[in-house]
Every structure is written in C-alpha cells, then in structure tokens.
Amino acid sequence: MNVVIIGAQWGDEGKGKIVDYLAQDAGIVVRFSGGANAGHTIVLSDTTYALHLVPSGILYADKTVLLGSGMVIEPSALFAELEDLKSKGIQWEGRVLISDRAHLVLPRYRQVDRELESKRKKPIGTTGRGIGVAYAFKASRDGIRLADIGDEDCLQNLEKEDKAYLAEWRPRLEPMAVDLVSYLHQHQNSWTLFEGAQGALLDIDTGTYPFVSSGMSCAAGAAAQGGIGPRKIDRILGVFKAYTTRVGNGPFPTEFKDDSPGSLSSYIRTTGHEYGTTTGRPRRCGYLDLVALRYACIVNSIDRLVLTHLDVYDELPEFEACVGYRIGDKVVQDFPASVKDLEQAVPVLKKFEGWKQPIDSCQSWEDLPLKAREYVEFIEDYTQTPISIISVGSERKKTIIKESPWIRS
Ligand code: IMP
C-alpha cells in the first residue's frame, strides 16, 4: 500500500512528526523531492532530530529509507547529517538508499543561488542551499545524476574542482545507489510512505510562483519522482497547521499586520516555535487560510487532512480563519494565480471561540473540547475533506488518530 504525505500550506506544517508517527507501520519511507532546503524536526524522548535530506522514517531501526529521484542532494550535507544521526545513536548504514536518478548539488551552487538572489529586485528569500540552481541545471540538461557520477562523458562540462568534489564522495555514494523504480516494484507488497518536502503552495507548478521552491512538493510528485506510477497511490494526506506560516518572501493574504512584541503574531511564533529549522529565520504568521487550503485539497486530490499545532491556540479566547478573499469588488473562494491578486486580497474572516484549556493530553476525538471540535468540523465542511489525524503536541504520543491511512476504504 502506498500513502503519500504532503504539506498543504507553505511548508513547515509538521510533516516530519506525522511521517515519523505513520512510519511505525510502514516498511519503507521515500522522500520524493527537495533538498537540504527542507527541515523536519522530530522530538523523541529528550532528543530533537533536525532532518534536512534524510527521510523521517530513519529513526526506526527496522525501516529502509530512500532519497527519491526528484531530490537534489549535496553529498557533503547528506553525510554531515548522517554523521550527526550516528552521534545520536541512529545506525543508518544499509538503511539509507538513494535513487540513482536523483541529482547532485555541487557546493558552488550555493554561491550562484546567493548571487541570483542578490540581483532580484524582489528576492524570493531562498534558503541559499543552491536548490533552485540544481533544479535549473536539471531542466537545462546540465545536471549530474548519481547514476552518472562515474561517467566521464556526463562530467565533461564540469570544472576541475567539481569533478574533484564528486570523485571524493563517489566511493561513499555509489554503494547507496539504487534503481528506485525496480526497488519499489520488487517491494510492492510493502507499506510505503512517500514524504513530500515543503508544501503545495511552494510547488513550482501549483504554488505562488515565482515565490516558490523549485521542486515538486505536490502529491503528483510522489508518482513522478517517488518511483511509482500515479495509479499506485492509494491515499494522499495533506498536513496543515491550525494557523498559517510562511518563510521567505511572497504573498500571504492572512499574514498578521502587527508583529510587535505582545501581538498575536509573536504569541503564535513563540508558542508554536515558528523559526526555520534550516535557516533559523522567524516565520511569518497568520490565521488559517481556508481558501488556500481548499485549493491545496483540490489540486492534490487530498483524501484526508492532518491538522497539527492545534494546541498552539489553547489559551486564546477567540481567533479567526479566512473563508474568502475580497479582491477589488469581488469576494472569491478560488485561489488566484496572480501574485498581484494575492497581494491585494483582503481576507474575509470568520470568528471562532477558543477552548481555553490545554489539549495536549487528549487521546481521542471525544477528549477534545467542544470548541476545538467545532473548529475542526468547520474546516472539514469548508474543504470538503475529512481530517483523520490531529496533532496536539510535538511528541510522537501527542497524536489523535481518527482514522488510520493504512486501512483501505
Ligand atoms: P529555496 O527552496 O531555497 O530555493 O527557497 C525558495 C522559497 O521556498 C523560499 O521562500 C524558502 O523560504 C522556501 N522554502 C524552501 N524550503 C522550505 C521548507 O522546507 N519550509 C518552508 N519554506 C521553504
């Protein structure tokens, strides 16, 4: 069975925790896109693991994790992360495999990334990891895939230092290389989790272009880049937070205008630990944008939503969520493509009463306070998508499962 998990907002929705939770029942975890721009935080016992390239299933000793064909991988960053995991007691050797169709990021791409960014009149706010550069080379057919690392013909356009860099890492990379398509075909009876990076609104095609990342963060990416055909996907889960955040630049209709100390924005940032895992940048915060979430559900065929960070609202007497955009003299519920429209959109807000009590010990749907359940049900109604998992704290056990994605309906 193949379950896909993607972010349904602008990334940082808590996918790492959910993948980690659901990986308990999976045999294989495949990360299908992105690179070291991503950051997944998992808290286990007293240890916090910050993953950038390695799929979240790595923390279970019996899981095989694969870096998929849509990923762009900087070898030095990958091995630094693996060494860090080892120092925290995670034995990864033999369990981390890399699609031989994945592209490699060369160290100089970071510099090119920063130069491109500095020339933009409206910078994107990239993570500076050379990700866009790697995808640009891939699209212009000048990239280097793991399969080609030892093929002189494929390396002929590279600089001397690039070749030296690849030659240095080749002995460690090649034993981890695998033909992802045939590997997954051979393991088609396993339960496999396909983990997306970033979020649907940062996807190169479905996101708020040009303020997006360069990979496929949409569910379709799991098929194109995860090594399986589209018909093999059994279930698609979209993860979203009770509110919205965004790192970097670009339109964000529900962003709080007031970010001063003591504001709701700064309260949410502090309570929700809304600082980038990769860059440490404070995340921009705003109310839940249901227009954007509904769009993410439609464009990704999301079967079930996963709500995270609901506990961040525990102390609020009331809060709001966006149910439409006022653009000029029209109110729309369809998410516009135009950056200008998104920048001009004034959110139409609906008020909700808070539950004013801690929910982190709730173990079931029935345990949740009525007001919290009403919020969840409103989101389900608006998006026409059931919410099957609710996360009420960062630890693995603080997760309410209404319906397991591993059960075929
Ligand atoms: P890049 O992926 O480094 O090129 O950055 C492009 C945009 O995507 C920037 O706004 C980044 O802040 C954003 N971005 C990239 N990766 C992530 C992520 O994992 N979470 C949230 N935002 C991200």
pTM of the model: 0.95
Secondary structure (3-state) at 120: coil
In the chain, the percentage of residues whose pLDDT exceeds 70 is 100
Q: Considering only CA atoms, which residue is closest to atom 8 of ligand 1?
A: 213
Tokens of 228: 């399986």
Among candidate residues 244, 204, 217, 209, the one with its CA nearest the CA of residue 342: 209
Q: Would you say residue 89 lies in a domain?
A: no
Whether 247 is in the pocket of ligand 1, judged by its Cβ within 6 Å, is yes
Atom of ligand 1 nearest to the CA of 39: 19
Instruction: Determine which residue's CA is closest to atom 2 belonging to ligand 1.
Output: 213
| Residue 98 pLDDT | 98
3-state secondary structure of 409: coil
Query: What is the 66 CA–ligand 1 centroid distance (Å)?
Result: 22
131 pocket-lining for ligand 1 (C-beta < 6 Å): yes
Ligand 1 atom closest to 12 (CA): 20
| pLDDT for residue 39 | 85
The band of 279, judged by pLDDT with boundaries at 50, 70 and 90, is confident
Ligand 1 close to Cβ of residue 388 (< 6 A): no
Range among 16-20, 329-333, 395-399 with highest mean pLDDT value: 329-333
Q: How far apart are CA 26 and CA 238, in angstroms?
A: 18
Cα of 8 vs centre of ligand 1, distance in Å, is: 14
pLDDT score of 50: 85
Task: Tell me if 248 CB under 6 Å of ligand 1.
Answer: yes
Host domain of residue 355: 241-301+308-401
d(Cα 58, Cα 176) in Å, to the nearest integer? 15
Is pLDDT of 66 > 80? yes
Computed over every residue of the chain, the mean pLDDT equals 96
- Alpha-carbon Rg for the chain, nearest whole angstrom, is 21
Q: How far is the CA of 242 from the centre of ligand 1 (A)?
A: 20
Is 173 a domain residue? no
Say how many domains are in the chain: 1
Does any domain span residue 24? Answer: no
294-351 confidence digits (pLDDT tens): 999 999 999 999 999 999 999 999 999 999 999 999 999 999 999 999 999 999 999 9
- Is residue 319 included in any domain, yes or no? yes
Does any domain span residue 394?
yes
The rounded Å distance from CA 36 to ligand 1 centre is 10
Asked if the model's pLDDT at residue 292 lies above 80, the reply is yes
Nearest atom, ligand 1, residue 126 CA: 5
The residues carrying an active-site annotation are 12, 40
Q: Is residue 25 helix, strand or coil?
A: helix
Minimum CA distance residue for ligand 1 atom 20: 11
pLDDT at 40: 83
207 assigned to some structural domain: no
What is the domain-level CATH number for residue 379?
3.90.170.10
Task: Say if ligand 1 is within 6 A of residue 213 CB.
Answer: yes
CA distance 9 to 135: 21
pLDDT of residue 276: 87
Ligand 1 site-directed mutation target among 133, 247, 274, most atoms within 8 Å of CB? 247
Query: Is 384 strand, coil or helix?
Result: coil
Q: Is 11 in the pocket of ligand 1 (CB under 6 A)?
A: yes
For 117, residues 6+ apart whose C-beta sits below 8 A from its C-beta are 123, 124, 125, 126, 128
Does pLDDT of 280 surpass 90? no
The two three-digit tokens of residue 396, written as one number: 């693995």
Dihedral sign for Cα 120, 124, 129, 135, please.
Answer: negative
Is position 209 within any domain? no
Query: How far does residue 58's CA lie from ligand 1's centre (Å)?
Result: 23
- How many angstroms separate the alpha carbon of residue 409 from the centre of ligand 1? 35
φ/ψ region of 141 (left if φ > 0, alpha if ψ in -120 to 50, else beta) reads left
The number of the ligand 1 atom at minimal distance from the alpha carbon of 281 is: 12
- Report residue 47 as tokens: 């240890």
Is 314 a domain residue?
yes
pLDDT higher than 60, residue 409: no
Q: Report pLDDT for 278.
A: 79
